[in-house]
Amino acid sequence: MSAENRRAATAVVLLAAGKGTRMRSKQAKVLHQIAGQPMLHFAMRAAMTLEPERMAVVVGHGGEEVAASARTLHPGVDICVQEQQLGTGHAVRMAETALDGFDGQLIVLFGDTPFLSAETMAKLVTEPQAITVLGFETEHPGRYGRLVMEGDRALRITEAKDATAEELAITACNSGVMAGPAQAMFRLLAQLSPKNAQGEYYLTDLPHLAREEGIETRAVFCDIAETLGINDRQDLATAEAAFQARARANAMAAGATLSDPESVHFAWDTALGQDVEIEPNVVFGPGVEIADEVTIRAFCHITETRIAPGVSVGPFARLRGGAVIGEGAYIGNFVEMKKVDFGPGAKAAHLTYVGDATVGAGANLGAGTITCNYDGVSKHRTKIGERAFIGTNTALVAPVTVGDDAYTATGSVITQDVPPGDLAIARGRQENKTGLGRKLRERLAAQKAGKE
Ligand code: UD1
Ligand code: CA
């Protein structure tokens, strides 16, 4: 029988009501992003690895926005409001009504602790009848609550502000994560008192109360990197750096070449194929999938884009808003693409903006091709056929269609559809005035001399 089969049903309570004063932000702390994702979603995704029956998020400051953000990831989430931030123990109690009747295992997570791994989450729930505290070891325990241990039993947790000198010397710390039988936990939470240095209802008093009732209390440990908590912008930067370091290492381990890893920034979900080459100073936003043998040259910014095998992008390209780049396509310098389906083998080698468009296989967009997709009110689509050749400096005034194998002449402003195979010339016709250039110069020179 696997541990999986024995596992009790789980419910997760995520605490996110704290003001996050030290962020000095108008935005709730848990909505600040790491690698393009709110830290709240990192914590929720960690929780979701347990496939919980119920999930509740306790909100306070900035509650509406936090609730909306939580729902985008998990529409069924319960939102519980903690009007006054009276402590972590009080915060958990706010979820009691939402979890009414739930008789399984409760897991308490913090919304500002984004990096818990699935392995650690699984370790927390192996003994459903015990109260399990997630701890970590550090040489610099600072402000963390200390775990007073006896073997692998957690006798109690003492907050740094309430600790004796002897307790302060303990290097086993409380991550804040706790699991246990839901009904017993809520019963014990009702017994908390705020008699401590901060005058708060501490969740951390639970192990001590549990032992008095004869409930087993144990600790499992994880690496400090997983329990990194974010309190200020410095912590946020540390978390970002930690994420990036892991993402770079993972990318290289999976077969990508990063010539200057430190200068490549990934999003939380960037997916790279094999033999991808990434030059220095490349930034990925969320929603990027890159297939095998793609080259991303220096200084590209790519977000919400899918790139097929064998494509070359950049230097200095910006792809965004749901761009799909077909196999073997070529995107050169100073090219921006937004919401574009760019066909296999199509080329846009220089200085081009393509937005809200479909570009057929093998089409060639000359330098300075611009889709005029926005009229100040609405966006309109441009369709460019297969093998179409868009002459240099063509403005395509959308909505407009250029057929397969059609040409547009250099400098054209295309306002009408171009049938397949046709050549569209839409520019002023050139006229040469015999000798007029020389005369003009003489006149201008004479004018200048007259002034002096
Ligand atoms: C807490 C732990 C401490 C642990 C540390 C790990 C307690 C009493 N202390 O301390 O042992 O070492 O985390 O980072 O639990 N929150 C609410 N409502 C409240 C208070 C807090 O929702 O009334 C939320 C906060 O938004 C935050 C989390 O709970 O996500 C932790 O609160 P915080 O005040 O940061 O606790 P610490 O002092 O860091
Ligand atoms: Ca904290």
Backbone angles phi, psi at 180, to 5 degrees: 175, 175
Question: 294-331: per-residue pLDDT in tens?
Answer: 999 999 999 999 999 999 999 999 999 999 999 999 99
Q: Which neighbouring-strand residues pair with 290?
A: 272, 307
Q: Report the pLDDT value the prediction gives residue 406, as an integer from 0 to 100.
A: 98
Q: Is the pLDDT of residue 130 over 70?
A: yes
Neighbour-count burial of 110, counting CB atoms closer than 10 A to its CB (0-12 exposed, 13-18 middle, 19+ buried): buried
Mean pLDDT of 155-175: 96
Q: Ligand 1 within 6 A of 201 CB? A: no
Report CA(190)–ligand 1 centroid distance (Å).
Answer: 18
Q: Which amino acid is residue 438, in one-letter code?
A: R
DSSP 280-340: SSEEE-SSEEE-TT-EE-SS-EE-SEEE-TT-EE-SSEEEESSEEE-TT-EEEEEEEEEEE
- In angstroms, the CA 68 to CA 64 distance is 6
Q: To the nearest whole number, what is the mean pLDDT of the chain?
A: 96
Ligand 1 centroid to residue 88 C-alpha, Å: 6
Residue type, 446: A
Res 138: pLDDT: 96
pLDDT computed for residue 5 by the predictor:
47
Count the neighbouring beta carbons within 10 Å of the beta carbon of residue 45.
Answer: 16
Helix axes 63-73, 39-48, angle to 10 degrees: 40
Q: What percent of the chain shows pLDDT beyond 90?
A: 95
CB atoms within 10 A of CB 81: 12
Q: Ligand 1, closest atom to CA 160?
A: 11
CB distance 144 to ligand 1 below 6 Å = yes
3-state secondary structure of 184: helix
Rounded (5°) CA angle 32-180-13: 25
The predicted structure's pLDDT at residue 19:
81
Q: Which ligand has its closest atom nearest to the C-alpha of 196?
A: 1
Mean pLDDT, residues 228-236 = 94
What is the per-residue pLDDT for 117? 97
Cβ of 296 below 6 Å from ligand 1: no
Cα of 124 from ligand 1 centre, angstroms: 19
Residue 85: CB within 6 Å of ligand 1? yes
| Cα 16 to ligand 1 centre (Å) | 9
- List the structure tokens of 86: 């009276």
For ligand 1, whether the C-beta of 136 sits within 6 Å is: no
Grade residue 30 by pLDDT with cuts at 50, 70 and 90.
very high
Predicted local confidence at residue 451, as pLDDT: 84
Q: Measuring from atom 16 of ligand 1, which residue has the nearest CA?
A: 18
Rg (CA), the chain: 30
Instruction: Identify the band that residue 7 occupies on the pLDDT scale cut at 50, 70 and 90.
Output: confident
Mean pLDDT over 356-378 rounds to: 98
Instruction: Say if residue 114's pLDDT is above 50.
Output: yes
Residue 3 has pLDDT above 50, yes or no: no
Please tell me the predicted confidence (pLDDT) of residue 204: 97
At 18 the pLDDT is: 87
Q: How far is CA 348 from CA 332, 334, 437, in A?
A: 6, 10, 36
How far is the centre of ligand 1, averaged over its atoms, from the C-alpha of 32 (Å)? 17
pLDDT score at 1: 38
Ligand nearest to the CA of 84: 1
As a whole number, mean pLDDT of residues 360-386 equals: 98
| Ligand number with the minimum distance to the CA of 228 | 1
Cβ-proximal residues to 85 (8 Å cutoff; 6+ apart), any chain: 17, 18, 19, 60, 61, 91
C-alpha span between 280 and 316 (Å, rounded)? 11
What's the full length of the chain, in residues?
452
Give pLDDT, residue 2: 45
Q: Are 276 and 256 in contact (CB under 8 A)?
A: yes
**Ligand 1 proximity of 247 Cβ (cutoff 6 Å):** no
pLDDT in tens, 265-286: 999 999 999 999 999 999 999 9
Residues catalogued as catalytic: 350
Report which ligand 1 atom has the smallest distance to the Cα of 90.
Answer: 23
pLDDT of 380 reads 98
